[in-house]
Amino acid sequence: MESQTQGLRDALGPNADFVFLNAPFEARGPTDEVVERLFGDTAPFYEWWSARSLEKDEREVIEGEEGAPQGTTKQWCLEFEDIDQSFEFMDEQLKELGEFDLAVGFSQGSIMLTLLSMWYLRKANKRWWKLLLCVCGVNPQEFVVLNGTYEAEGPSDPMIESAYASSAPFYEWFENQLANGQPLLYNDAESSAKARLLSGADKGEDHAWSLSYKGIEQSMKRLDEEIRRHGPFDVVIGFSQGAALLSIMTMWYLRHGGVRWWKLAICVGGVDVSAVNVKSLFIDEMGHRVLVPLPSIHLVGKTDPLFHESHRLAKSWTDEADGFERWVFEHDGGHKFPAASRNKEFYVELGRVIRQHCRKGAETIVSKL
């Protein structure tokens, strides 16, 4: 922290005294790769607590206390283990060191100072500092990452093989087949789109239901279990085949109880849903296509072989939901996320849009089709 606060210390001048404190616990679990690379020579690293996601039955207790529908609570779904020891540690340090003009917290430390400020105000109406400075503070956010259910069969895209060979094996959520059950030459999203086009199913304005997703039922069951274990979520992100699955699951939940498990969906390099074995989720009683009625963002690569497929998927989501206009962003890359180095302004704006939308109340909204 001393090296990172050099600019602040220089700005405040030589008469400012600084006290540096590490958290009381050596960090458990793997450290972020960026932190390891930049600050590996200062290891070990420290933390104020270990965050634990509440189990389903624990969240249900909170839902009962709040009067919220079962499985929908978003507030207070984490537990900071060892936080009491951190409070005691800081209390001892502050009583020994005295009051401060300024307290600076970095990352997890920003949360700690926020909690500690309220702890003292509640406990003794005491202020130990005049000003609080939070650097890279977190709310905190929590990310849950899931691979596809099945190890991918057949050859992978050459671009994926060359760029991500170290991440093999690769995974998929389902196997693409033609609607009549015949296999595709290559089980990937691009060949699925080509097969659908060659079959003539894409001609005219009617939506194509020319494929079948083998194994989709098992993936939906598994994903439902994970969502109920970890959710609900502010944002869900689906890439390529995952974007199609995200669309399917959104409609499945709306058809089965009408409860939303997320506020915003982001589809990256997506492929349109066109399988006969999920068609009923997207068709009304008159046989008309039903748009997915949730807020969505779609990221499309201009050189992506699935460029048109991604736009087709975007059009299967409603133009506007909950005051959020569907956002489609084209970038210069291919079948991947926009490069951070060339899209800095976009990512800043994306973060702003996500935070602004997800702050619109914590209550669960029930959708009707």
More confident residue, 143 or 121: 121
Q: Residue 173 and residue 152: Cα distance in Å, rounded?
A: 9
Question: Taking residues 123-141, what's their average pLDDT?
Answer: 81
Asked if pLDDT for residue 62 goes beyond 90, the answer is no
More confident residue, 338 or 154: 338
Q: Kindly state whether residues 110 and 192 are assigned to the same domain.
A: no
Four-residue CA torsion sign, 167, 173, 175, 176? negative
Distance from the first to the final alpha carbon of the chain:
53
Examine residue 173 and state whether it is found in any structural domain, yes or no: yes
More confident residue, 320 or 161: 320
What whole-number percentage of the chain has pLDDT above 90? 35
Tokens of 343: 């899209």
Examine residue 309 and state whether it is found in any structural domain, yes or no: yes
Examine residue 141 and state whether it is found in any structural domain, yes or no: no
Peptide bond into 140 cis (omega under 30): yes
**pLDDT score recorded for residue 249:** 96
**Residue 19 burial by Cβ neighbours in a 10 Å radius (0-12, 13-18, 19+):** exposed
Question: Taking residues 6-10, what's their average pLDDT?
Answer: 86
- Looking at 135, 161, 177, the residue that finishes a domain is 135
Q: Kindly state whether residues 86 and 180 are assigned to the same domain.
A: no
Q: Residue 137 and residue 337: Cα distance in Å, rounded?
A: 25
Examine residue 102 and state whether it is found in any structural domain, yes or no: yes
Examine residue 77 and state whether it is found in any structural domain, yes or no: no
Among the residue ranges 64-78, 191-205, 242-256, the one predicted with the least confidence is 191-205
pLDDT category at 248 given cuts 50, 70, 90 is very high
The residue segments making up the domain with residue 11 are: 6-47+82-135
Q: Kindly state whether residues 185 and 258 are assigned to the same domain.
A: yes
Contacts of 44 (CB under 8 A, 6+ apart): 26, 27
Q: Kindly state whether residues 266 and 222 are assigned to the same domain.
A: yes
Q: Kindly state whether residues 113 and 187 are assigned to the same domain.
A: no
More confident residue, 136 or 333: 333
* Closest to 239 (Cα-Cα) out of 351, 335, 314, 354: 335
**pLDDT score recorded for residue 141:** 58
Element (H, E) at 189: helix 189-198
Q: Kindly state whether residues 29 and 164 are assigned to the same domain.
A: no
pLDDT category at 205 given cuts 50, 70, 90 is very low
Tally of structural domains, the chain: 2
* Closest to 305 (Cα-Cα) out of 146, 158, 207, 168: 158
Q: Residue 208 and residue 210: Cα distance in Å, rounded?
A: 6
Q: Kindly state whether residues 339 and 210 are assigned to the same domain.
A: yes
pLDDT category at 280 given cuts 50, 70, 90 is very high
Examine residue 52 and state whether it is found in any structural domain, yes or no: no
CATH of the domain at 233: 3.40.50
Tokens of 217: 């039922």
Q: Kindly state whether residues 352 and 279 are assigned to the same domain.
A: yes
Q: Kindly state whether residues 125 and 191 are assigned to the same domain.
A: no
Q: Kindly state whether residues 190 and 263 are assigned to the same domain.
A: yes
**pLDDT score recorded for residue 138:** 65
Tokens of 6: 């050099």
Asked if pLDDT for residue 139 goes beyond 90, the answer is no
**Residue 15 burial by Cβ neighbours in a 10 Å radius (0-12, 13-18, 19+):** exposed
Question: Taking residues 203-221, what's their average pLDDT?
Answer: 79
pLDDT category at 364 given cuts 50, 70, 90 is very low
- Looking at 104, 135, 166, the residue that finishes a domain is 135
Q: Kindly state whether residues 36 and 116 are assigned to the same domain.
A: yes
Examine residue 57 and state whether it is found in any structural domain, yes or no: no
Question: Taking residues 26-47, what's their average pLDDT?
Answer: 74
Q: Kindly state whether residues 101 and 241 are assigned to the same domain.
A: no
Tokens of 249: 């699951």
Examine residue 76 and state whether it is found in any structural domain, yes or no: no
By residue count, the chain amounts to 369
